[in-house]
Amino acid sequence: MATLSVNQRALLLSVVLLVVGLLVWEAAIPAQKAAGELTEYERLTGGGAQKAGVPPPSEIIAKAWTELSNPFYDAGPNDKGIGIQIGYSIYRVLAGYAMAALLAIPLGFLIGMSPVAYKALNPFIQVLRPISPLAWMPLALFIIQDSEASAIFVIFICSIWPMLINTAFGVAGVRQDWVNVARTHELGHLKTAFMVILPAAAPTIVTGMRISIGIAWLVIVAAEMLVGGTGIGYYVWNEWNNLDLTSVIFSILMIGIVGMMLDAAFGALQRAVAYAE
């Protein structure tokens, strides 16, 4: 019998842990009372109904099948498919993230290449970086007066710092020998930046971008719970208000899966630029 590789064994162990975990979860949920077994008080108050307790995995799987079989339906403001809700969230994340990248990467280059710029800007960075992104939401809503733009601004403000700091660190860490070789060949500042410094600093820059996208996806869920309307965060909060724990748990799993896919995309990008190390 052929020996399994490390990846195959890891995959097999993951499947076993998943199956065992689901079985334990299913067995731990007490059986719900049938409708005919409920007392009159329980029927009036909703006691004993499935929504009153934590649902078993079988109900969540059934919910996932129903939602994913038609993810893009639109039956009104408070009834949209999970695909539409995730689409709104991804749009907000990518919009704020792109604006942050356009500012953070060039500014990080400046900070990394100039000790004077670093010392001048570092106090501002150290004051603004620890502020929770959601603390900006009331001010954004007051100034911008638009919930959609305010959510994008919150993503912008939370995405900028990891990219800025990692870019500055990566640029500052480029070997001076390589820069000296560029000067020997009489390359200009722009050519040196794009042909020498950027490829060398790319792995560190992408690491910052990868951290930022993870933070942005975390923050958008909380932001959408506050501003409402659309998005996966709003979907979670709306289902909680409906006391539909099956939908809440399903949406939590979808948040995790989308986050994993975003991280995997930047992980692939990180591996693609790893040659520059």
Whats the size of the chain, residue-wise? 277
pLDDT of residue 254: 93
Helix (H, G, I), strand (E, B) or coil at 74: strand
Element housing 107 (H / E): helix 82-113
**Residue 29: which of 249, 251, 252 has the closest Cα?**
249
Return the structure tokens found at 127: 């004051």
Domains of the chain: 82-276 (1.10.3720.10)
Cβ of 51: how many Cβ atoms within 10 Å?
A: 13
pLDDT of residue 42: 52
CB proximity list for 114: less than 8 A, separation 6 or greater: none
Return the structure tokens found at 257: 């899966």
pLDDT of residue 50: 46
Whether 159 and 215 have beta carbons less than 8 Å apart is answered as yes
pLDDT of residue 57: 86
CA atoms of 235 and 83, how far apart (whole Å): 11
Q: Give the model confidence (pLDDT) of 25-80 as tens digits.
A: 888 776 554 444 555 555 555 554 444 567 888 888 888 898 889 888 888 777 78
pLDDT of residue 35: 44
Residue 29 region, left (φ>0) first, then alpha (ψ -120 to 50), else beta?
beta
Pick out the chain residues at pLDDT < 50: 1, 33-36, 48-51, 276-277
276: exposed, middle or buried (Cβ count in 10 Å: 0-12, 13-18, 19+): middle
Q: What is the pTM of this model?
A: 0.83
Return the structure tokens found at 26: 């299913």
